[in-house]
Structure 1
C-alpha cells in the first residue's frame, strides 16, 4: 500500500465488479445467519490491535483503488469521446504489475485483516453498519465539505461533494429498506444502483485550497473503504443465500469506486505519469515496511495478540517485495 498525503496514514476493498440488476428480487424468508458471522476473531482483540487492523484495512483498500487507476494509466489507455478505451501496449508490463499488486492488497491483505478483526457480521448487522456510515456521509461529511469548498472558491469540488451527498442518501434509504425486508420477511430488496464509470486521466489537481485537497483525500479514503466493505458484505450475503442483498451491496460498491472515488481522484490529481505513480507507490510501500507494520506488530506482540502480530509481519514482508518490484519497473523506464 502507499500514502496519498502526509496528513493521514493510508485510510479507507474494491473488485472491479459493479453488478447491477434492472429488477428487484423478492425475499421470502429471513436468512438463517443471525447467530453467526463470516469472520469472527478467535478471541477478543485488544483495542489498539483492532485499531491497527482497521488502519491496515483502510490502507489496503486505498492502495487497491489507486493501483487500479495507476494500472490503466500505465497501460497507455486513453478514453475516446464515446467512452471507449484505446490500448497502447507499450506500458502494459507496468500496468500488469500495478494490477496484480492491487489484487494482492485487496484479496489477501485486506481480507485477512478483516477476518482477524471480525469485520463482517450478520446480514442485519452489516446493513446497520452501512446505514450508519451512509447517514454520516450524507448528513454531515459531504455537506460540510461542499460548504467549505464553496467558501474556498473550489466550485467543482463543491458541486461534486453535493452530488455525492445525495447519492449517499439514496444508498442509506436502500439499505434501510433492505433491513426492513430482512427483519420482517416481507417486501423486496431494492435493485442495485448502476455505476457510471468516471475516467481518471493523468493530471494535476483541479482544486486550489489546501482544505479542499485535504477533504478530497479524506473522501477518497472513505470511498475506497466503503467499496471494500460492501464487497465483503456481498460475499457474506451470497454465502447465506441472499443473492438480492448481495447484488445491492455489489452495485453500491461499484458506485463508491467507479463514480465517487474516481470523480474525487480527478479533482485531486491522484494519477500522474507512470514514473511519478511508481515513485509514489515505492515511497508508500517502503514506509509500510520500515515503520507502519513493524510498529503494529510490536504493539500486538506486547499485548499477546499473536495472530495479528504475525499478520503484520507477513504483510510487511509482502510490501517489501512490492517496493522492490516497483523499483525494478522504474529502473527499466529510465
Structure 2
C-alpha cells in the first residue's frame, strides 16, 4: 500500500469486471504525474501537500465504502439508492482523487512507481501491520490480530513481487511476476467484531490506506499500459484487487463499517456535510494563505461537490422513511 510513501514520497464488492476497473484507471491517469505545483513553477507548500494527501485518503475511503453501501442497498432491494452510492463513488474516484493526484504528482515513471510501492509495502509488512496485530492481541481482539498478521504477510509478498518487477523494468531482462489473485470478502450489515478503541482506530487507519492503495495502483497500472508494459499493468491491477476486495473488505467486516441502508445513508450524509462545511473549506483557507491558488480552487470545488452529495443522500434517506 502507498499511504506512507505518498506522504513522504478505492471497496467495491459490487461485481466489477477487470475491464470496468481498468477503464477508470485510464481516465485517472490522464495528466497525472507532473511535479506538484501551486502555480507557475513554485512547488506546493508542505501543509498543502499534507492536506492533499489527507484528501486522497478520504476520497479513496469514500469510494470503497460507498461501493460496499451500494451492494448492501441492492441486497435490501433499494436499487435507486445503490445506483446513487455507485455514481457518487465514481465521482470521488474519477474526479476528486484524480485531481488531487494530479496536483501532488502521484504517478511517475514505472520504475519510480515501483520504488514508491516497495517503500510503502515494506513499511506495512515490517512495521505497521505487525504493530497493529500485537496491539490487537494485547487488547483481546483475536480476529483482528489474525487479519492484521495475514495482511502483513500479503504486503511482504507484494513487496517481493514489486522488487522483481523493478529489476525487470530497469534491466530490460526477465519476466514480471504474475498478479496475485484476490479472494473477495463479502461485507454484509453487522456490528463491529472488535472491542478495543485502539483496534477500531487501527482498522480505520488501515482502511483509509487500503482505499488509497487501490486507487493509486490502478493509476500505476494505467501508466504501465500507456508505456507498453502490459505485464506490469496486470501486476498492479491484481495487487490493487487484493488491497480492495480482501484487505479493505476484511477490515470493514471487523469494523462493522456496513449497516442497514438507512444507517449507511446517515453515515454518508454526516461525512459529506463535514467535508463540505469544515474539512475542505479549512484546506482551502490554508492553501489560499500560502499562495497555493490552484490547490485552493480544488478544495473549494470539491467542497461544493460534497455539499451536493450530502443533499442527494439526505433526499434518498427521506424517501426511505
TM-score (norm 2): 0.89
Q: 1: CA distance between counterparts of 2:97 and 2:196?
A: 32
Aligned equivalent of 1:309:
296
Unpaired runs of 5+ residues, structure 2, are 1-9, 20-30
Aligned equivalent of 2:47:
48
* One of 70, 83, 88 as aligned partner of 1:96: 83
- In the TM superposition, what are the counterparts of 1:32-43 in structure 2 within 5 Å? 38-42=33-37, 43=41
Q: 1: CA distance between counterparts of 2:222 and 2:100?
A: 16
Per the TM alignment, residue 331 of structure 1 is displaced from its structure 2 partner at its CA by: 0.3
Per the TM alignment, residue 191 of structure 1 is displaced from its structure 2 partner at its CA by: 0.5
Alignment of 1:247 onto 2:234: yes
Q: 2: CA distance between counterparts of 1:143 and 1:212?
A: 13
Per the TM alignment, residue 14 of structure 1 is displaced from its structure 2 partner at its CA by: 6.7
Unpaired runs of 5+ residues, structure 1, are 1-12, 21-35, 77-87
* One of 148, 157, 160 as aligned partner of 1:161: 148
Q: 2: CA distance between counterparts of 1:272 and 1:14?
A: 15
Per the TM alignment, residue 38 of structure 1 is displaced from its structure 2 partner at its CA by: 3.1
Aligned equivalent of 2:114:
127
Aligned equivalent of 2:127:
140
Q: Is the 8 A contact 2:179 2:235 kept in 1?
A: yes
Alignment deviations for residues 116-151 of structure 1 (CA, whole Å, 9 cap, x no partner) = 111111111110110011001111111111111112
* One of 257, 266, 271 as aligned partner of 2:253: 266
Alignment deviations for residues 231-266 of structure 1 (CA, whole Å, 9 cap, x no partner) = 111111111111111111110000000000000111
Q: 2: CA distance between counterparts of 1:318 and 1:224?
A: 20
The higher radius of gyration belongs to 1
Alignment deviations for residues 12-43 of structure 1 (CA, whole Å, 9 cap, x no partner) = x47776759xxxxxxxxxxxxxxx97333443
Q: 2: CA distance between counterparts of 1:278 and 1:39?
A: 37
Distance 1:305 1:317, change over 3 A: same
Q: 2: CA distance between counterparts of 1:152 and 1:239?
A: 47
Aligned equivalent of 1:230:
217
Aligned equivalent of 2:174:
187
Q: Is the 8 A contact 1:275 1:333 kept in 2?
A: yes
Q: Is the 8 A contact 1:193 1:255 kept in 2?
A: yes
* One of 80, 100, 104 as aligned partner of 1:117: 104
Per the TM alignment, residue 168 of structure 1 is displaced from its structure 2 partner at its CA by: 0.4
Q: 2: CA distance between counterparts of 1:299 and 1:121?
A: 27
Q: 2: CA distance between counterparts of 1:14 and 1:200?
A: 10
State the Cα RMSD in Å: 1.7
Alignment deviations for residues 205-256 of structure 1 (CA, whole Å, 9 cap, x no partner) = 0111111111111111111111111011111111111111111111000000
Q: 2: CA distance between counterparts of 1:40 and 1:18?
A: 32
Aligned equivalent of 2:4:
none
Per the TM alignment, residue 183 of structure 1 is displaced from its structure 2 partner at its CA by: 0.8
Aligned equivalent of 2:92:
105
SS of corresponding position for 2:277: helix
